[in-house]
Amino acid sequence: MTTSNGAILLNGQPSFPKLVWAQCPDAAAGNLAVGIDLFMGNGCGTGAQLAKWVAGRAFVLANAQADAAGRAGTVGTHLPDEWDTHLPGDFTTADALRLVPPIPGIRARAS
C-alpha cells in the first residue's frame, strides 16, 4: 500500500479502501465477505494479531501508540480515538514523532 499523486495505491493500482473500525477477528470473515479490504484497529487485541488473522486478504492499520510488535504486519498506523482532531493548532510533526514510538526500518516523514 502506497500513495502517489493523491491516490491510494494497492499493489500499484488506484484503490478506494472499504474500511471498518475496531473489528474483532471473529467479525473479520463477514467483513471480508462483503468486500472490506482495510481494517482500522483491532477491537479485541493488537493490529499485528488482526494482520496475522486476515493473512493478506485485507490490510490493517494499527494503533500508532502500540509498540513495534503490536504493529507488525500492518500497512500503517492511526491515532487512537481520533484525538488528532483535538490537538492544538500549533501541533507539529516533531510533536507527533515524540508521542508515537518509531517502527524499526520505517522512517516517518511529513506530508
Assign 23 to helix, strand or coil: strand
Could you tell me which residue, 93 or 77, shows the higher pLDDT?
Answer: 77
Number of H helices, E strands in the chain: 4, 7
DSSP string covering 11-22:
TTEEE---EEEE
- Helix spans in 1-111 (H): 25-33, 47-54, 68-71, 93-99
User: Dihedrals φ, ψ of 15, to 5°?
Assistant: -145, 150
pLDDT digits (tens, 9 = 90+) for 49-80: 999 999 889 999 998 889 999 999 998 888 87
Report yes or no: 81 and 57 within 8 Å, Cβ to Cβ: no
Q: Which three cell numbers stand for residue 73?
A: 504486519
Q: Domain ranges in the chain?
A: 2-80
